[in-house]
C-alpha cells in the first residue's frame, strides 16, 4: 500500500491546499485516489460507500491541510490515516442504522398488536363497567374497593364500617353475579 516513492512535492501540495489552491488538491487526489479507494473498498466492502468516504476525505484534506505536520509523518501516511478513520466512522454509522432499522422492524408489530390490545381492553373495560352497574350498590362498592382500589377485605370492612363477614359475603355474591353477567356479555367464563 506504499506509493512507489514518497514525493517531496506532497508536502508542498498540502501547504498549497492549506492556502486554498484547488489545483494542488486535484494533484493530491490524482496521485492517491486509487490507493485510498482500494483501502476504503477493503474496509467498507461497498463501492458507493467507498466513493462517498473518499469525497469526505478530500473535503477534510481541503479543510484541515494546515493541520498536517510534516515533522510527525509523511503526507501519504496522513491521507491513509484520514481515510481509515472516516471508513471506520462510516462502518459505525452503518451499524447503528442497521440496529435502528432492526429495532424498528421488531417493535412495529408489537406497537400494532399493542393498539389492538388497547382497543380490546377498552371494550372489555366498558363491558365490565356495564356489568358492575347492574350489581346492587353494596356489592358494587366492595368489588370496586377490592379490585380497583386494591384494598384487602379487612381494609374494606374498616373503610365501610361493615363487619368482615358481611364484606366477604357481599364480595362472593357480587363476584358470582358479575361472572354471570360477564359470561353472557363476553363469553369468557365458560
Measured at the CA of 53, the angle between CA 49 and CA 55, to 5 degrees, comes to 120
Equal fold, 9-101 vs 134-186: no
Task: State the Cα torsion 109-111-113-119 to the nearest 10°.
Answer: -160
Residue 185: the pLDDT is 66
Rounded mean pLDDT, 87-107: 79
**Would you say 90 and 55 are in contact if contact means Cβ atoms under 8 Å apart?**
no
Residue 94: the pLDDT is 84
CA gap 152, 115 in Å, rounded: 32
Let me know if domain 134-186 sits in CATH 1.10.10.10: yes
> What CATH class is the domain 9-101?
mainly alpha
Task: Return the domain boundaries, the chain.
Answer: 9-101, 134-186
Owner of C-alpha cell 435502528: 100
Owner of C-alpha cell 517531496: 8
Cα–Cα separations (whole angstroms), residue 117 to 71, 106, 123, 130, 163: 67, 17, 10, 20, 39
CA gap 15, 19 in Å, rounded: 6
Rounded mean pLDDT, 71-89: 92
pLDDT digits (tens, 9 = 90+) for 53-67: 999 999 999 999 999
Residue 4 pLDDT > 70, yes or no?
A: no
Q: How many CB atoms lie within 10 A of CB 80?
A: 19
The alpha carbons of the chain give a radius of gyration, in whole angstroms, of: 37
pTM (2 decimals)?
Answer: 0.51
pLDDT digits (tens, 9 = 90+) for 99-137: 777 776 665 555 555 666 676 677 777 777 888 888 899
Amino acid at each position: 500500500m506504499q506509493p512507489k516513492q514518497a514525493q517531496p512535492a506532497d508536502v508542498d501540495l498540502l501547504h498549497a491546499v492549506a492556502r486554498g489552491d484547488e489545483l494542488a488538491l486535484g494533484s493530491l487526489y490524482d496521485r492517491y485516489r486509487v490507493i485510498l479507494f482500494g483501502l476504503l473498498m477493503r474496509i467498507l466492502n461497498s463501492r458507493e460507500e467507498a466513493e462517498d468516504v473518499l469525497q469526505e476525505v478530500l473535503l477534510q484534506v481541503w479543510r484541515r491541510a494546515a493541520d498536517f505536520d510534516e515533522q510527525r509523518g509523511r503526507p501519504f501516511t496522513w491521507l491513509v490515516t484520514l481515510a481509515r478513520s472516516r471508513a471506520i466512522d462510516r462502518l459505525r454509522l452503518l451499524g447503528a442504522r442497521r440496529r435502528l432499522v432492526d429495532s424498528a422492524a421488531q417493535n412495529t408489530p408489537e406497537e400494532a398488536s399493542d393498539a389492538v390490545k388497547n382497543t380490546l381492553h377498552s371494550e372489555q373495560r366498558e363491558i365490565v363497567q356495564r356489568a358492575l352497574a347492574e350489581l346492587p350498590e353494596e356489592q358494587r362498592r366492595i368489588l370496586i374497593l377490592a379490585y380497583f382500589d386494591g384494598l384487602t377485605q379487612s381494609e374494606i370492612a374498616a373503610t365501610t364500617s361493615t363487619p368482615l363477614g358481611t364484606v366477604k359475603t357481599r364480595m362472593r355474591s357480587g363476584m358470582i353475579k358479575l361472572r354471570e353477567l360477564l359470561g353472557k356479555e363476553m363469553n369468557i367464563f365458560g
